[in-house]
Amino acid sequence: MSATDVLPPRPEHVVPDDVPRFADDPFGDEILANPWDFHHRMREAGPVIYLEKYDVYAVGRYAEVHAALTNWDLLQSAAGVGLSNFRYEKPWRPKSLLIEADPPKHDAPRNVLKKILAPRSLRRFTEQWREAAEAHVDRLLDGRRSGESVELDAIPAIAESFPMTVFPDGFGVQKEGREHLLPYGDHTFNAFGPHNHLVEKGEPTIAEHVAWVAESSQRDNLDPHGLGADIFSAADRGDITHEQAPLIVRSILTAGFDTTVHGIGAVLASLARFPEEYDRLRANDSLIRVAFDEAVRIESPVQTFFRTTTTDVEIAGTVVPEGQKVLMFLGSANRDGRRWADPDRFDLTRDPSGHVGFGMGIHQCIGQHVARLEAELITRALARRVSRLELTGEPSRHINNTLIGYESVPLRLTLA
């Protein structure tokens, strides 16, 4: 952590003796790539732990994570959802009006996007995106016949390329320069953690990504018939200010791609690891939506977020002092055996709807319906043409201070 990233001084406090202390670094490469053992040890140690390296309290059980996500008045987002409080002196990105604001400043932007990104609003794109998904799969299969197979890396071939086409089109983003979206989002989520080598890796190029995203968030650069233009129309009606409109567009461009890519990658990897569940899905395509949420539960593309206490807050009997950062492990909560039966199994017979992979409460992911639609359409197109998904090698992880995903998922697709 650099000198400019440290938290402001807080009154000294003594960590209670009954709070387990962990010397582990949850932002170290080993845990970021494979956090499940650390999560298990954390959950078993107690409902609240203390991370010595970063002087933060942390929660990993479902009940405490859910409570922290929903009690926004006691555990605020406005101080920043990363390890550091949001810095206003020449930040490389503006403060998010969605995830780094609380009521009342949070309300108007949230209400506008809630309508624009609602399932009813997205219906106008469903047929177009369905055709795009089927065409995408047809290109991947490249004229193969029933019983034949094709091998590919599912991350660049499907998880990245499909959403990178359909959502920017729907949002009305200029085609030139879309390659900036993934590295910009990756750096943003890395910056929510400590100033480690992952942040340093993105710093040399972040300025060019920032410039493109800022330019693409302006009204004149958006297709007048897309979702982005709808945000500016809301400003014309007075629902939000014209100053807020490009910042809201920018927030969607910041957080809407890496998370969806990792979510679709999680679906594909899970269906390949559990072939009996893929057979179940092909026999009953109503399970396709369940598959996405179950994959988000078991993989949790968004692994962590921070909150900051607004007063002395009691969490499961531990009093956490005012101004203290609290790290919520969403990925740990989603595999908590206190909430989920056989939590490490990808199971399409379960109801995963209570998972916290999209957050919970007033800051729950506003773009989740877009991600669900994209994942549903590409999975449906695959299931229609492909009888088996098989791993041809061990998937490799893409590590990030906040997200978890796959760098590579080598698959063999056998045609039905």
Which pLDDT belongs to residue 84? Answer: 85
Planar angle of CA 161, 166, 168, nearest 5 degrees: 100
pLDDT higher than 90, residue 1: no
Question: What integer pLDDT is reported at residue 3 of this predicted model?
Answer: 38
Q: What is the pLDDT confidence band of residue 6, given thresholds at 50, 70 and 90? A: very low
pLDDT for the residue 8? 52
DSSP class per residue in 232-246: HHHHHHTSS-TTHHH
CB 327 within 8 A of CB 402: no
pTM of the model: 0.94
**Predicted local confidence at residue 11, as pLDDT:** 59
What integer pLDDT is reported at residue 257 of this predicted model? Answer: 86
pLDDT-based confidence at residue 143 (cuts at 50, 70, 90): confident
Average pLDDT of span 403-409? 97
Residue 9: the pLDDT is: 54
Cβ atoms 72, 363 nearer than 8 A: yes
Give the span between the Cα atoms of 63 and 53, in whole angstroms.
Answer: 25
Q: What is the DSSP string of 259-328?
A: HHHHHHHHHHHHHHH-HHHHHHHHH-GGGHHHHHHHHHHHH-SB-EEEEEESS-EEETTEEEPTT-EEEE
Asked whether the predicted pLDDT for residue 4 surpasses 50, the reply is no
> Looking at residue 90, what is its pLDDT?
52
- The string of pLDDT tens digits covering residues 267-297 is 999 999 999 999 999 999 999 999 999 999 9
pLDDT band at 345 (very low <50, low <70, confident <90, very high): very high
Pick from 56-65, 76-85, 195-204, 289-298: least confident: 76-85
Mean pLDDT of 75-94: 80
Tens of pLDDT, residue by residue over 98-118, are 899 999 999 999 999 999 999
Number of structural domains, the chain? 1
Which domain CATH number covers 86? 1.10.630.10
Domain residues for the domain of 361 are 3-415
φ, ψ (nearest 5 deg) of residue 183: -65, -30
Closest CA to 210 of 256, 261, 250, 164: 250
Q: How many H helices and E strands in the chain?
A: 17, 13
Quote the percentage of the chain above a pLDDT of 90.
90
Summarize pLDDT for 210-222 with one digit per residue, the tens: 999 999 999 999 9
Q: Which of the residue ranges 89-103, 110-124, 127-141 would you say has the lowest mean pLDDT?
A: 89-103
Strand 304-309 versus strand 325-329 pairing type: antiparallel
What pLDDT score was predicted for residue 271? 97
**Average pLDDT for the chain:** 93
